[in-house]
Amino acid sequence: MASNSNNRPVLILGAAPRISVAVARSLYRHGIPVEVASFLGTERELRSRAIRAFHRLPLKELYPTKFLDLLLALIRERGFDMALPTSDPALSALAEHYDRLAPLLHVGCPPPSAVERVLNKALTLEAAKKCGIHVPFTCTVGNMTELEQVAAQLRFPLVAKPGQKGAKVFRVRTFPTLEKLSEALRMNDPGLVLLQEYCPGIGVGVEMLLHKGECVAAFQHRRLKEAPASGGVAVMAVAEALDPGLRDASLKLLRALEWEGPAMVEFRVDRQTGTCVLMEVNGRYWGTSSLPILAGVDFPLYHWQILHGEQPRVPGKYAVGMRWRWTPGYLDRLYSIVANSRGGISSTTSRIRELAQTTIDFFPTIHEALWSWSDPEPFFSELAASIYEHLTAAVNWLLRKLIPGGMSRYAKIYLRLRPEARPIYAKLRTADALGTNRENGQAFLRTARSVVFVCYGNIMRSPMAEAMLKRVLAEQGSSGIGVKSAGLHARVGREAHPGALKVSREIGIPLDNHRAQLLSPEMVASSDLIFAMDFENLAELYAVYPEARHKIHMLSAFAEGKQRNREITDPYYGDEETTRQCYSILMQCVGNLARSVLHARTLVRH
């Protein structure tokens, strides 16, 4: 076995408790030190007897260079000889920097080309078709126009998933009608979405560890309950005997994908008709990782042994029939059914039956995903966070019911902001209500050489402000002022919103060539003036870039009349007329800004 005091530590990248703690405990039991690192703001610090240390890396999306530099420094400093991903973003990060990481340690995933075939669901399904595996009807849409183009081909109910695994969108959801799907896409702005026909049956996962194309270990589980109830992640599961057909199909697919290491192939099996359909492939440790370990198949240990030249001792059988429960996910499912908050829940799901079943589902014979008598902290920590999340959702719902529309919207914005931005937003909103916002916007105009306009997604307001200022400066024959725009939550490369495109053409400042970009620390540092569109933008900018606060302003400081120092509202959820009104305000603000800048520069010359 691996119990050697000289074992070098393993780095787990990703901090989803039910996955990372399970992997850490597996290795810790065999004398292998484990540390965990996270670069996602949504992941909390993990504390466990099995985890020697927790490291917080920079947000990769905002600080890609700093993230890599500190990751490499951490590996060298701590002496890691293996890195394991436990989330899709972590898998993507290891694959992206595979060539830099491979000389330093064992990377717990195959080369980038294989990872791409798993993270890109379209490529996964294409490979499955070539293997003769049945796949559901699938298409992808990126906006409402594309949805309208494929609407006639869609059959409801259908399942909507992120087009790229690990993308920041709403969870996997089932939609009963086109109207419900359209509403969700408009409200969430999820980016690329994969739409899949709904396949009846039960979820079955076949887990495998591959080495040089050979199956080292295999396990199968069946989902008993999911969250949300209409289909999502497993919250209750049971160990099953390997189905020879599913085993062979999974192995054939993983070989076609040129996979190396652990993976879970998920099927939807209709046992009445005998048909099975591929849903997806998880190319890293999966949500039910603790179930096979508890049942006798220790994937993390075997994975470590293979990469260290040892021969795993894989048992010939495991505890078929063992049941497993993930309590925080179970509570999430229960909340979705009782509150009916997710939409698309099957009409056959009875609230009364679900509540009655709860007592049975918590029998002591059912193994808890995170519970350990010798290491209870991870379980209680995640459970407390889950309860807090549901209480927050309940308070949010109550606010929407009791508070007038405008205040309810402000409360919703407040709750979704990062904690450090919330008091700033509250202060800005209060000052606006009292009429005490008095920014004059004239700071640094004389020395301004670079301007950045910022909004939420960089697809409507900020790109138009950029285009307008460039047009005005060109007409005035002014040079030497750099003008850019960016979004605090932009999807890089996204085109301008369809409504923005139409109105921009009407006013003769087309945004056809615009592509969204994310605001970066480098952009903030190199800019003389940064203009926000609303208080949400401003609060977030103040919170994330406190060192640049002196050069961050509201663009509406250059408005006139009642609009001065007020928000330039996002027209994303409005119609074309809303966009026209927004662009009219932008034109006024940008015109006054340009005149002020040019006047200030004239004074400097004289």
Q: Catalytic amino acids? A: 455, 461, 570
Residue 565 contacts by C-beta under 8 Å, 6 or more apart in sequence? Answer: 432, 437, 438, 439, 554, 556, 557, 559
> What is the DSSP track for 272-311?
TTTEEEEEEEE-S--TTTHHHHHHT--HHHHHHHHHTT--
Amino acid at 153: Q
**Rg from Cα positions in the chain:** 27
Nearest to 135, CA basis, from 196, 223, 192, 193: 196
- To 5 degrees, how large is the angle CA 131–CA 137–CA 140? 105
Residue type for 328, please? P
CA end-to-end span of the chain, whole Å?
Answer: 81
What is the number of other CB atoms lying within 10 angstroms of the CB of residue 96? 15
Q: Can you count the helices (H) and strands (E) in the chain? A: 21, 20
Cβ neighbours of 135 (radius 10 Å): 18
Distance of CA 270 to the CA centre of its chain: 30
Q: Is 257 exposed, middle or buried (0-12, 13-18, 19+ CB in 10 A)?
A: buried
Q: Report how far apart, in Å, the C-alpha atoms of 99 and of each of 95, 110, 112, 290 are.
A: 8, 11, 9, 31
Rounded to an integer, what is the distance from CA 511 to the centroid of its chain? 28
Consecutive H or E run containing 515: none
Query: Which of left, alpha, beta for 454 (phi over 0: left; psi -120 to 50: alpha)?
Result: beta
Count Cα neighbours of 74 within 13 Å in the Cβ-side half-sphere: 24
Is 463 within 8 Å of 514 (Cβ atoms)? Answer: yes
Buried/exposed 153-186: b ≥16 CB within 10 Å, e otherwise: ebeebbbbbbbbbebebbebbbbbeeebbeebbe
Cβ of 431: how many Cβ atoms within 10 Å? 14
Place of tokens 């409200």: 187
